[in-house]
Amino acid sequence: MKRILTLIAVFAIAACASQKSTYADRMQHDPNSTNTETILHVWSWNFPTIAENMKQIADAGFTMIQTSPVNACFSPEGGNIKILDEKEGNWYHYYQPTDWTIGNNILGTEEEMKVMLDSAKKYDIRVLVDVLPNHTGFDIDLVSDDFYAAVGGREKMFHTKGLEGIQDYNDRTQCTHQGVGGLPDVNTENPLFQKYYMEFVNKLIRMGVRGFRYDTAKHIGVHSDPIDTEAGVTENDFWDVATGRKDVLGVSLCIPYDSLFVYGEVLQDRNVPEEEYAGYFGQTASTYGHVLREALWKRNAKAVNLLDWYHRAAPEYLTTWVESHDTYCNANESAGLTDAQIRTGWVFLTARQNGTPLFFSRPMNSTRDNYFGDNLLGARGNDEFFHPEVVAVNWFRQCMDGQTENVQIAEDGKAVAVNRGDKGAAVINFSLDEVTVSLATSLPDGDYQDKVYGRTFKVDNGLLTGSAAPETTYIICR
């Protein structure tokens, strides 16, 4: 499904008013739907760096960017300089909120964020912000007094067992009432917390933010989940408030929810109510990412089933990736993949009809021996986001709006063609070998030059043929 903002009137709104949204059934797949957008995850880039690179991001064909968390966060003295260092900081410090105010010493000030947003508007780039209302920082003594006061005091901040860590992630009571990774679990059903958080969200929207990625979303309960009655909770209604279905203490989402791009980090596992979450937002296709990486490791598209999305929600509402900041940093699950392998996966994923793909910007000068490269928070990532193959498939995706897919995989699994109607095709060589491509297509007969390398492919009687270099991709359009 193509999601285009129609916000001419909204941009002129000075004050936010309550509104009622309609909610599509995100479980029912429309086989004719096509997604055209792409997200660049400007991971750990600061606001000035993002602004300076906005034109290049737009030229690369990305339609959205996702920032790291912009909220006040854990900021140890002398820290928040390095991506990963025992003394000089860690990337996950900004995943430890201390207040719902704008600005921190990793990304920059509120004023610098506004400059970045103005630049994004100039280049027609939608800005998504990573938000994490589920928890605070580890050290609850560092949470701001203003934050505690806003929610009714420290005793009102957390769930009854919020300071206990989760032992069983498949137990929905633990999953939604206790701390993920040991981070204290916030009582997101507290109306005072909801009001304070929504004021933060609305301020971001007024500044120009047009979407959100909800960190640890599956750890915030839906209506079918257990209720923390000991904390005075009567209803798991955080998502109703966050998505504009209801207001809280006179505060509501300030623009129609359908004008925002919102997805939640709902990592797939047992007992996760994906259907209920689908009623509120798009979800991460975490299992599909794992399967795609397996194919990349094996350099073979038949090693696994790449056509199944492995999710109960409709694929047009999934956010997809080859890798995320978590798969790269936490257990380095994807960090060993070469840049060429990541590109191969990205072109395959982005050429497809559905999902909204997210490209993770790896650190500058990172290698397979040194994952964090220059190891500087705030700095731009490496050059891969504007590699010619990445750029070509980003624009291909937009041009193929309305064209449904037909994926053809060679018998030996080395080569793939993602056909889009009779308008174009992406050819991907997963292997380390030069391969001769011979795959079915709906392209009309004729000779075609790919958009990146100028290599010629021939279509004769519904058969696409040509040669493909190792771990290289080609974009063909008519």
HEC string of the chain? Answer: CCCCCCCCCHHHCCCCCCCCCCCCCCCCCCCCCCCCCCEEECCCECHHHHHHCHHHHHHCCCCEEEECCCEEECCCCCCCCCCEECCCEEHHHHHCEEEEEECECCCECHHHHHHHHHHHHHCCCEEEEEECCCECCCCHHHCCHHHHHHCCCHHHCECCCCCCECCCCCCHHHHHHCEHHHCCEECCCCHHHHHHHHHHHHHHHHHCCCEEEECCHHHCCCCCCCCCHHHCCCCCCHHHHHCCCCCECCECCCCCHHHCEEEECCCCCCCCCHHHHHCCCEEECHHHHHHHHHHHHHCCCCCCCCCCCCCCCCHHHEEEECCCHHHHHCCCCCCCCCHHHHHHHHHHHHHCCCCEEEEECCECCCCCCCCCCCCCCECCECHHHHCHHHHHHHHHHHHCCCCCEEEEECCCCCEEEEEECCCEEEEEECCCCCEEEEEECCCCCEEEECCCCCCEEEEECCEEEEEECCCCEEEEEC
For the cut 80, the answer to whether the pLDDT of residue 217 exceeds it is yes
Domains of the chain with bracketed CATH: 26-403 (3.20.20.80), 404-478 (2.60.40.1180)
| pLDDT given at position 77 | 81
pLDDT value at residue 424? 98
Q: Are 266 and 218 in contact (CB under 8 A)?
A: yes
**Model confidence over 315-372: pLDDT tens digits?**
999 999 999 999 999 889 999 999 999 999 999 999 999 999 999 999 999 999 999 9
Band of pLDDT at residue 186, cut at 50, 70 and 90: very high
Neighbours of 81 (CB within 10 A): 15
CA 335 to chain centre: 17
pLDDT in tens, 394-448: 999 999 999 999 999 999 999 999 999 999 999 999 999 999 999 999 999 999 9
pLDDT, position 282: 96
User: Is the confidence at residue 309, as pLDDT, over 70?
Assistant: yes
Phi/psi at 120 (5° precision): -60, -40
How high does pLDDT run on average in the chain? 94
* Span 56-101, pLDDT tens digits: 999 999 999 999 999 999 998 878 899 998 889 889 999 999 999 9
State pLDDT tens for residues 99-115: 999 999 999 999 999 99
Active site residues: 215, 265
- The pair of structure tokens assigned to 426 is 């992406």
pLDDT at residue 20 above 50? no
- Mind listing the pLDDT tens digit for each residue in 221-250? 999 999 999 999 999 999 999 999 999 999
What token pair was written down for 213? 């990625």
Cβ 349 vs Cβ 355: under 8 Å:
yes
> Crossing angle of helices 388-399/339-351, nearest 10°?
10
**Predicted pLDDT of residue 6:** 35
Calculate mean pLDDT across residues 257-284. Answer: 95
pLDDT score at 79: 81
Whose structure tokens read 């395959």? Answer: 348
CA 365/CA 372 separation, integer angstroms: 8
**Measured distance CA(3)–CA(225) in Å, rounded:** 30
Q: Report CA torsion sign: 129, 131, 137, 138.
A: negative
pLDDT reported for residue 21: 35
pLDDT in tens, 372-390: 999 999 999 999 999 999 9
Q: Which of 200, 2, 232 is CA-nearest to residue 101?
A: 200
What band does 24 get if pLDDT is binned at 50, 70 and 90?
low
Is the pTM of the predicted complex or chain greater than 0.85? yes
Which pLDDT does position 14 carry in this prediction?
36
Between helix 110-122 and helix 191-207 the angle, nearest 10°, is: 50
Residue-level pLDDT at 179 = 97
Residue 26 pLDDT > 90: no
Q: Across the strands, what pairs with 227?
A: none
